[in-house]
Structure 1
Amino acid sequence: MKTFLFYDVETSGLNPVFDQILTFASIRTDLRLREINRQSVTIQLRGDIVPSPKAFLTHGLTNDELALGIHEYEAALRIHKLVNTPETISLGYNSLGFDDEFLRFMFYRNLLDPYSHQYGNGCSRMDILPIAVVYRVFHADIIKWPEIEGKPSLKLDLIAEANNLVTSGRAHEAMNDVESLIELSKKLFSQEETWHYCLDFFSKTKEEARINRIKSDFQIQNRYFRICIMISLSFGSKVNYMAPVIHLGQSLPYKNQSLWLRLDSEAIPGFGDALNIEDAHVIRKRPGDGLIILPALERFWNRMPASSKQLTDENLEKFCSQCEKFFELIQYHLEYRYPLIPDIDPDASLYQDGFFSGKEKKECEKFHLAGKDRKHEIVDQLQSPRIKILANRILDRNFSKGPLQATSKEYQCHLDQLRSVSEANKIKGYKGDTKYGRHEALEELKELESTFLNPDPDQRKMMAWLNDYIKEF
């Protein structure tokens, strides 16, 4: 039986590669949103994580609460089993933009398949936030939409407050947010036709079929292109969350990416400005990723502001008159490959090193099946360099006994890098970003102390703990 697994996470910071999940809450329902069961997992703060003061002041999780949790490896096994239960559709609120990537990297560094919950055993993913945006555009009367300083907001806690959604806890508490999400989904579900229409945007085959049915009827020289409408929260309320786009084609090195260019941009690099075509912001869409594509039908097109339609006409005219440059832009982005990061940290190497091979999966399984007392022995037998280093980190983070001296030299070096202020010692991610260290945390704490006026007793207690913890890291 197909089920929804609504879930939410609270984290130590905003980086899905290097920060960690601290709490995971989920409620499983049937497809008519009737609750079946619920699960909650609290995870101990890892020894190699420097907590972000802003994150901790937002969710309010205390060190005492986290100390009662389980270690990350055990939590990863438990959560992986939940989202991989056959016929599970896992979904959250902005989960495809935030939570799901946290899960993916947690699974990866704990030697679990980071993608199986997307396709294996009838499992798949969804996200309620893009669905809420569609309702905001086409069925705005379905709920009350909150505003901040006169501008619409789609923040879940504000929607819950504006619509009196019944929950049992505080905002930014994982289980409370899951309850809010289900109550919101029930209101959206009351328009069943729209609800089911939106669900198909998260089915790879159904979404691809929808896009393929849209005619490629805009001609530039001897080539034909699809003109469509894309819906995304990122476009903002000023343009009604809608943007006219032209389909450039499929990425050559990354077969699951279709490339789209916004047509309502005031300046497109390479066409009348100082920038080159390489600087053009091309949207890389993956099947079922929550970027909604609609045909450019009049009833949709007329919901966009006049300025968007005018810029579309102007940009299409540029492409037609400078078609060779436009084709050059297309070819550059179709062939584009992400740059290789030579000194990428092993925790961040998922996209660069790719899927686990068949041999690596067998080594992962061997590690998981070994008892706690035999895992060190199994690590010594591993042949794959990346499996070996990730397995050693699991031991250091979850099974080390006693003081720092009981951990590996590699892990001690990792901690030293987090304490360093030198740029040369930064721990690098796949985007060229770096892991949050003690120096950044102290700077953030200093900024908060100077701007955070009238903190309540709980916030003062949190600030004091953060100050002590980060300085002693």
Structure 2
Amino acid sequence: MTTNTILWHDYETWGVNPKLDRPSQFAAIRTDEHLNEIGEPINWFSQPTLDRLPHPQAALITGISPIECLQRGMPEPEFIAKINAEFMTPNTCGAGYNSINFDDEVTRFTLFRNFHDPYEREYSNNNSRWDLINVLRMARALRPEGINWPTVNGKPNFRLEVLSAANGISHENAHDALNDVRATIGMAKKLRDAQPKLFNYLFQMRQKHKVAELLHVGNGPFMHTSPKLGAERHYTSAMLALGQGGSNRNSVVCVDLNTNNDWLLSESAETIRNILFTRFSDRPAGYESPGLKQIMLNKCPAVAPLKTATADPATCERLQLDEGEIMRRAERFDDPAIRAKLCSVFNSEYQSPSVDAEATLYQGFPSPGDKATMAELRTASADDLASRVYHFADERYNQLLLRYKARFYPQTLNDDERYTWRELLLSRFTDDGRGELSLEAFAGELMLLSQDADIINNERKLKILKDLERFALLIQNA
């Protein structure tokens, strides 16, 4: 009998950029689909490497010292290999809180720079992923009964530590990964008990083929929850699927049916594109709300049938939904020429190429030959790296290889590689305009923090500041 499990997980990191800032801690608890714990909790630390400075505020928030991580943590290749093995356990759903936008990105980029497949754990072996945060946002909009929903200045607050506290869930040390995992499971249990039908429905919608069925063109309006829709609208509106966005088969272009955007019907695709990708404050009067967005099938979007809202008068009133008007607007937008025009708005969406090789994950997939070389590297010893030539057709991976060797097997570098590595570090730590945290900026931030009364009177935070200084000295003396 197949046993489906959920691996609830969370990272702490040395900064807020999942592409470049490294993980410091990974914690996870595996449960069955009824949220009963299975096995022992996981709580692993990763050794920071001497090629990137930790952001001091990140260390203070998490309470994690880089020196302690050097002493108790694993080298990153071992760290991510163990994490990937947990995710790759058959019938595993990797779940978290805001994990699609952050934790999953940390996993992907860490796998990428250590020569693993960044995506396989998300779909192979009947595996999947899920994110609780938009599930809770949708529950507040559509089925709020049974949960306390805290607000700050009249707006809903979905910070995990605030939400868990409001619902009597212990969360003593927020920003400790294991405590965050326990709080996430606690909120999942709270929602499942309060609204089991919605919980189970949205858990099933983690599978992109189910999302694709609901968002199939011609199926009519549906409900969608996203922070982009705004707190004043409970992050939720009625939408209509128009078609694929650009070349991405996982993208569905959708139009908001509950906002004043009739001008989309008459304006050209170029005009709409210019407005859509212009800052809100700079948009012409009357064009503030295009109500046009892409929903990604593979990112566990919070979507549900229209009747989930319209069948309940109280929900319609709360969301200011008029079903008759929604259906009339859907009919106006459900025209082949209009759909094609609005989908074409996203055809030329542009992302500037990343300068740093470690941030280039989304600039292509490896060839079969490069994948074979990646597999060899994952088991290569220092002697192998020193004596054998590993070459990739894709230049990104050659750059990653040099960095991999420099971080974990510096004795295997030849003179040219050693020079290239030193030039990279010089550029990174002196900030040549690439937005890196320079040694000078790092020292300045430590100086300011050392004068903060809250830190001066906190023994743990003072120790972390001192350890951050020690870590910077290790970098300078390397």
Report whether the alignment pairs 1:183 with 2:198: no
- Whole-angstrom distance in 1 between the partners of 2:321 and 2:233: 11
1:19-98 equivalences in 2 (<5 Å): 19-37=21-39, 38-67=41-70, 68-98=72-102
1:349 to 360, 383, 388: 360
State the secondary structure of the residue aligned to 2:16.
coil
2:226 to 218, 232, 255: 232
**5+ residue gaps, structure 2:** 278-291
Contact 2:96 2:131 (8 Å CA) reproduced: yes
Report whether the alignment pairs 1:153 with 2:153: no
- Whole-angstrom distance in 2 between the partners of 1:369 and 1:39: 24
RMSD, aligned α-carbons: 3.7
Contact 1:10 1:59 (8 Å CA) reproduced: yes
Q: How many Å apart are 1:72 and its aligned residue?
A: 0.8
Report whether the alignment pairs 1:241 with 2:235: yes
- Whole-angstrom distance in 2 between the partners of 1:166 and 1:394: 40
Q: Which amino acid aligns with 1:249?
A: G
Q: Which amino acid aligns with 2:203?
A: L
Residues 306/88 of structure 1: CA separation in 2 closer, same or farther (3 Å cut): closer
- Whole-angstrom distance in 2 between the partners of 1:61 and 1:408: 31
State the secondary structure of the residue aligned to 1:39.
strand
Q: How many Å apart are 1:460 and its aligned residue?
A: 3.2
Q: Which residue is equivalent to 1:396?
A: 406
Q: Which amino acid aligns with 1:346?
A: A
Contact 1:6 1:178 (8 Å CA) reproduced: yes
Deviations 1:373-409 (A, max 9, x none): 3233344455653333222211211222599999733
Q: How many Å apart are 1:231 and its aligned residue?
A: 0.7
Deviates more, 1:143-152 or 1:45-54: 143-152
2:375 to 365, 379, 392: 365
Q: Which residue is equivalent to 1:333?
A: 345
State the secondary structure of the residue aligned to 1:408.
helix
Q: Which amino acid aligns with 2:196?
A: E
Contact 2:28 2:43 (8 Å CA) reproduced: yes
- Whole-angstrom distance in 1 between the partners of 2:343 and 2:254: 13
Q: Which residue is equivalent to 1:107?
A: 111
Q: How many Å apart are 1:301 and its aligned residue?
A: 8.7
1:260-409 equivalences in 2 (<5 Å): 260-263=254-257, 276-278=271-273, 279-280=275-276, 282-297=292-307, 298-299=310-311, 303=315, 330-341=342-353, 344-352=355-363, 354-380=364-390, 384-401=394-411, 408-409=418-419
Contact 2:56 2:446 (8 Å CA) reproduced: yes
State the secondary structure of the residue aligned to 2:27.
strand
Contact 2:19 2:106 (8 Å CA) reproduced: yes
Relative to the length of structure 2, the TM-score reads 0.82
Residues 232/324 of structure 1: CA separation in 2 closer, same or farther (3 Å cut): closer
Q: How many Å apart are 1:123 and its aligned residue?
A: 0.9
**5+ residue gaps, structure 1:** 217-225, 427-433
Deviates more, 1:49-58 or 1:122-131: 49-58
Q: Which amino acid aligns with 1:338?
A: Y
Deviations 1:117-140 (A, max 9, x none): 111111110111122122222332
Report whether the alignment pairs 1:204 with 2:208: yes
Deviates more, 1:1-10 or 1:401-410: 401-410
